Amino acid sequence: MNGSLRHARRAPQAAPDWPRRGGRRLADMVTVVALRREGRRLARVAAVVTSRRESRRRAALAAAVTSIMALTAPAVPAVAAATTPAAASRAATARAAALPAAVPAPPPGWSTVFSDDFNGPAHTAPSSSWQYDTGPGSSFGTGEIETMTNSTNNGYLDGNGNLNLTALNQGGSWTSSRIQTTSANVGAPAGGQLEVTASIQQPSPASGLGYWPAFWMLGPGQWPENGEIDIMEDVNALSEHSGTVHCGTFPGGPCNEPNGIGSGLQSCSGCQNGYHTYTMILNRTNTANESITFYLDGNQYFSVAESQVGTSTWQAAFDHNLSIIFDLAMGGGYPNGVCGCTTPTSATSSGGTMSVAYVAAYATTSSTGGGGGGGQIVGYGGLCVDVRSASTANFTPVQIYTCNGTAAQRWTVVQAGSTLHALGKCMDINGGGTANGTTVDLYDCNNTAAQVFIPPSNGSLYNPQSGRCLDDTGWSTTPGTQLQIWDCTGNANQHWSLP
């Protein structure tokens, strides 16, 4: 395992950028084995379970961490500085020691798809776009030791247009805050681009061992296949930052999980003393090689391309909507590995605060269509995907039927090219099921993993949560046969021509 990690650091040893995954209400199975005779460097394994219908199928990996020591690894050099038009148009708003700013307007050719300037009375919760993710840090599988609360002592508006996340030590027990959007609400349209950016001042405690602020994104479904983009992380109040993506399988896989593919810690001068912009652009304009690029104050420092992980892995991870998350963790694999110690220590200062002036997501218009007025999805035998009897009731079967051009067969590809809408509702896997033969129906659109159908280049419609494809049951050519999910085979009964 030595030399396999990608994270640059100040000390001679490097640490994994541990996944910051969600899904705290899931049961997990953990096995920990010793790797070397001193008991250093433990491996982590975990299994993943899916959630119940009431939470609408939020599933994610959670693995326990019991002991982490620093591992040696070569430093990853920063990408030569570059600037995109979208990022450059906003770079001047967040240089060193800059004041908090309002949400910038989108540049020409882009539109704002989500934003929050965190205006509101002091010591109140953020807007209804957000929810607190609460519970013990141990449930996240990253080794962090705080308890995440919904208290406005930990996560609150400061009354001056900022969101503050504050870590507090109360008699040796740490509390902090983690908030995320209430749904997976932003994604790059097929053939277009998505930019997600925030103006953040990192915590600046007197003694910062164990502080782990983060600004990141997470897809619905099973981690790490569902995709994670860590736009900003720093540890131990070093005034540094890193950008990382997670995808594929755990452990190992094309994204080297649980470490991910990342920049390593980079210098971030003044980032604890002023607001700076941390930005990610997911670029889908080159359909043969999509990319994710990271920026600090509009200057590119790291990029990951689809070709590095493979098309199917990339599409499952990033060609759909993701949620936005801010959190301030204490302790865990990343800060422990960087310092070669256990954090936080008795000397770690209480009250360090991560302050967010704004967050925004901007998107370009798709260059390859998708959306519009919708159209027919044609499958095996020339039959069309159809909502039975044109009913808008939840759980109405989605079936194959003779193509007739009615509204029951008019499907629109929306939500970053990964959900299918008809009659004002979404194609949905019944009960959030993942087993072969689970039926497909119509249901209220809710941005859950059961409604994600990614169109790979082979013509199938792939659901990442189940790892299965939309399937014409039994190769049927009988109108009225309800569709199901099944192991992806590439056969003709899983080929769909989209509008």
CATH number at residue 314: 2.60.120.200
How does pLDDT run across 294-353, given as a tens digit for each residue?
999 999 999 999 999 999 899 899 999 999 999 999 999 999 999 999 999 999 999 999
Q: According to the model, what pLDDT value does residue 413 have?
A: 81
Whole-Å CA distances, 275 to 17, 130, 215, 237, 270? 23, 22, 14, 15, 9
Whole-Å CA distances, 166 to 18, 118, 363, 407? 21, 16, 31, 51
Whole-Å CA distances, 265 to 11, 188, 207, 229? 11, 26, 19, 15
Q: Are residues 356 and 386 in the same domain?
A: no
3-state class percentages of the chain: helix first, strand second, coil last, to nearest 5: 10, 35, 55
* Phi and psi, residue 52, nearest 5°: -85, 170
**In angstroms, rounded to a whole number, what is the distance separating the alpha carbons of residues 325 and 215?**
6
Least Cα distance to 146 among 93, 101, 211, 217 occurs for 211
* Residue 49 CB-density burial (10 A; 0-12 exposed, 13-18 middle, 19+ buried): middle
Q: How many CB atoms lie within 10 A of CB 359?
A: 25
Q: According to the model, what pLDDT value does residue 366 have?
A: 53
Tokens of 473: 């049951």
DSSP code at position 260: -
| CATH number, domain with residue 395 | 2.80.10.50
Q: 104 CB contacts (<8 Å, ≥6 apart)?
A: 89, 90, 93, 360
Q: Are residues 70 and 144 in the same domain?
A: yes
**Residue 18 placed within a domain:** no
Range(s) of the domain holding residue 212: 30-364
Least Cα distance to 416 among 462, 457, 363 occurs for 363
Q: Are residues 234 and 348 in the same domain?
A: yes
**Residue 461 placed within a domain:** yes
Tokens of 81: 């500085």
**In angstroms, rounded to a whole number, what is the distance separating the alpha carbons of residues 303 and 278?**
14
Q: Are residues 385 and 430 in the same domain?
A: yes
**In angstroms, rounded to a whole number, what is the distance separating the alpha carbons of residues 398 and 67?**
49
Q: Are residues 244 and 334 in the same domain?
A: yes
How does pLDDT run across 344-389, given as a tens digit for each residue?
999 999 999 999 999 999 999 654 434 445 789 999 999 999 999 9
* Residue 309 CB-density burial (10 A; 0-12 exposed, 13-18 middle, 19+ buried): buried
Strand arrangement, sheet containing 419-422: 384-387, 396-401, 440-443, 425-429, 419-422, 412-414
For the chain, the straight-line distance linking the first and the last C-alpha, in angstroms and rounded, comes to 47
Q: Are residues 269 and 417 in the same domain?
A: no
**Residue 451 placed within a domain:** yes
Tokens of 41: 């460097």
Q: Return the bridge partners of 111, or none.
A: 363
**Residue 157 placed within a domain:** yes
Instruction: Give the end of a domain, one of 334, 364, 394.
Output: 364
Q: Kind and range of the H or E element at 310?
A: none
Q: What are the average pLDDT values for consecutive 10-residue runs of the chain, which has 499 residues? A: 29 40 34 32 33 33 32 34 47 39 88 96 97 94 96 98 97 97 90 96 98 96 94 97 97 96 97 97 93 97 97 91 97 96 97 98 66 77 95 96 92 78 93 96 89 87 92 96 96 93
Instruction: Give the end of a domain, one of 331, 364, 397.
Output: 364
**Residue 7 placed within a domain:** no
**Residue 106 placed within a domain:** yes
Q: Are residues 321 and 384 in the same domain?
A: no
Q: Are residues 347 and 396 in the same domain?
A: no
Bond from prior residue into 499 cis (ω within 30 degrees of 0): no
Q: What's the total number of domains in the chain?
A: 2
Instruction: Give the end of a domain, one of 311, 333, 364.
Output: 364
Q: According to the model, what pLDDT value does residue 400 have?
A: 96
**Residue 5 placed within a domain:** no
Q: According to the model, what pLDDT value does residue 41 have?
A: 36
Q: Are residues 480 and 348 in the same domain?
A: no
- C-alpha angle 149/320/261, rounded to 5°? 75
Q: Are residues 407 and 474 in the same domain?
A: yes
What's at 407, amino acid-wise? A
Q: Are residues 302 and 414 in the same domain?
A: no
Q: Are residues 335 and 285 in the same domain?
A: yes
Q: Are strands 173-176 and 147-148 parallel, antiparallel or unpaired?
A: parallel
**Residue 77 placed within a domain:** yes
Q: According to the model, what pLDDT value does residue 448 have?
A: 84
